[in-house]
Amino acid sequence: MTEASVEEFSVLDIRAGTITRCERFPEARKPAYKLWIDFGPEMGEKASSAGITDLYEPEELVGRQILGVVNFPPRQIGPFRSEVLTLGVYTDERTVVLVQPDRPVPDGSRLG
């Protein structure tokens, strides 16, 4: 495990957002969804590809708040441009549990 400083961690811009739309992503190499996430008036809606199909169905994700890294460069994943890294915790080699606030917060709120 590599140690990191608080300064290195503070470079990450991690914000809360609400999933507004979710679609299956059959073109992805691994099972995934296409997510559209509202990060509030300052940032607007951003797209993300997320490998969270084991525990979540698209209809239950819409309206859910999540945390995402919003300052990584976009990645092209097949035909889809992923602008945000949706955060989750691996429970085994492929099952991911989303990281989310335990209470509603304004979209765009920064992790601190």
User: Could you tell me if residue 110 is inside a domain?
Assistant: no
Q: What angle do CA 17, 73, 98 make, to 5 degrees?
A: 35
CB 94 within 8 A of CB 54: yes
User: Could you tell me if residue 108 is inside a domain?
Assistant: no
* CATH number, domain containing residue 36: 2.40.50.140
User: Could you tell me if residue 103 is inside a domain?
Assistant: no
* 90/109 Cα distance (integer angstroms): 24
User: Could you tell me if residue 66 is inside a domain?
Assistant: yes
**Structurally, how many domains does the chain consist of?**
1
Full residue range of the structural domain in which residue 85 is found? 6-98
30-63 tens-digit pLDDT: 999 999 999 999 999 999 999 999 999 999 999 9
63-80 tens-digit pLDDT: 999 999 999 999 999 999
Q: What is the pTM of this model?
A: 0.93
DSSP assigned state of 33: E
